[in-house]
């Protein structure tokens, strides 16, 4: 298979959340069309993820899990060339010295590439494709994520400026639900989001998106999430949102939410609602917090935990809602149905 792939500069990509305009949709479609031999897979609006596993094949997820495409053929050299070109489009460089790279392209497409020998079966590509249309709570309700009573309650949670933590495994729709909820934020409020790779697309007129920066080839210039949370406090935000808590930034977020910054949110990977306290204790330990400090900070800062699951058919749903408890200095959680 010949893989013609010309990398062309596109200027600065539009930041997520600047409004679902016709120009923005056109930019996203153009970005997808420029993905060379992968463009036919990404032009389908139903596609959420594309995976290339070296010479082992290509898999496409259209909402019901990855499915193998038997028509795809590519050598290791060709897959590596695709990965190199895609990473270059995102303004970064991948080679044997830097074999693992994550970038976001114009239009919000997210590319993660890993080269051999780190990827033992050949160059690995993982591509996440944002929906062109922003989902809202009505859409999620119609899609079976929750019923009408829960939809109305989620709207009240936003308007009441409750701090929430959205949890679930990868691909359960944490970012989608959070963006849909934040779209109900009053227009006179300023939302600042902080993410490793900017994915939150919020239908709101005053959304500022901050994205972490990886170190350069010399290992300098990195700007992590913890620093961005601190920087956001100087931007007079009405709501602070951390796209995914995975390290010491959890301390900065909890501190902010405990000092008058109501209406904030974060997402967290967890396999079940009952696993969330242990995950937060582990992240707190990375930030130098003991279990007692985590329990006091979390129970004071977070109003509700919204846990999402994805069933075998690919349907994503709000499975459980929890509230944190302080059980003798250790963080606990109880299930709640506050809309009843």
pLDDT tens string 63-81: 778 899 999 989 999 999 9
Q: State mean pLDDT over 185-205.
A: 91
Which burial class, exposed, middle or buried, applies to 98 when counting CB atoms under 10 A from its CB (0-12, 13-18, 19+)?
Answer: middle
Q: What are phi and psi of 140, to 5 degrees?
A: -65, -35
**Gap between the Cα atoms of 253 and 248, Å rounded:** 9
**Gap between the Cα atoms of 256 and 226, Å rounded:** 11
**Gap between the Cα atoms of 191 and 207, Å rounded:** 5
Full set of structural domains in the chain with CATH? 22-128 (3.30.450.370), 137-335 (3.40.50.300)
**Gap between the Cα atoms of 52 and 69, Å rounded:** 10
CB-CB contact of 339 with 137 (8 Å): no
Mutual angle of helices 174-182 and 148-159, in 10-degree steps: 60
Q: Give the residue, 16 or 216, on which the prediction is more confident.
A: 216
Q: In what order do the strands lie in the sheet with 304-310?
A: 207-211, 191-195, 239-242, 265-269, 164-168, 304-310, 316-327, 330-335
pLDDT for the residue numbered 32: 53
DSSP-assigned letter for residue 284: H
| DSSP H/E element including 126 | strand 124-128
Q: State mean pLDDT over 21-39.
A: 60
Evaluate if pTM is beyond 0.75.
Answer: yes
């Amino acid at each position: 298979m010949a893989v013609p792939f010309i990398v062309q500069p596109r200027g600065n990509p539009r930041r997520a959340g600047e409004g679902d305009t016709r120009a923005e949709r056109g930019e996203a479609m153009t970005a997808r069309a420029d993905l060379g031999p992968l463009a036919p897979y990404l032009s389908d609006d139903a596609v959420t993820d594309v995976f290339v596993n070296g010479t082992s094949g290509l898999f496409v997820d259209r909402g019901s899990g990855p499915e193998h495409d038997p028509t795809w053929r590519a050598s290791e050299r060709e897959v590596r060339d695709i990965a190199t070109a895609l990473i270059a489009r995102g303004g970064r460089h991948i080679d044997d010295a830097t074999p693992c790279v994550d970038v976001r392209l114009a239009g919000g497409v997210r590319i993660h590439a890993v080269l051999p020998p780190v990827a033992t079966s050949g160059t690995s590509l993982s591509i996440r494709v944002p929906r062109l249309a922003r989902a809202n709570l009505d859409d999620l309700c119609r899609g079976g994520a929750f019923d009408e009573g829960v939809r109305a309650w989620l709207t009240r949670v936003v308007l009441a400026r409750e701090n929430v933590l959205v949890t679930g495994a990868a691909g359960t729709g944490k970012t989608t639900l959070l963006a849909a909820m934040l779209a109900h934020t009053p227009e006179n409020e300023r939302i600042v989001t902080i993410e490793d790779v900017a994915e939150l697309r919020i239908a709101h007129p005053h959304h500022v998106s901050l994205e972490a920066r990886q170190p350069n080839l010399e290992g300098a210039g990195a700007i992590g999430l913890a620093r961005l949370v601190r920087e956001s406090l100087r931007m007079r935000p009405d709501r602070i949102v951390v796209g995914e808590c995975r390290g010491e930034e959890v301390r900065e977020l909890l501190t902010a939410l405990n000092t008058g910054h109501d209406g904030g949110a974060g997402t967290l990977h967890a396999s079940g609602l009952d696993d969330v306290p242990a995950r937060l204790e582990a992240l707190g330990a990375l930030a130098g917090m003991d279990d007692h400090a985590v329990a006091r900070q979390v129970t004071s800062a977070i109003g509700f935990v919204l846990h999402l699951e994805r069933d075998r058919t690919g349907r994503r749903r709000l499975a459980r809602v929890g509230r944190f408890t302080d059980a003798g200095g250790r963080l606990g959680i109880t299930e709640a149905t506050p809309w009843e």
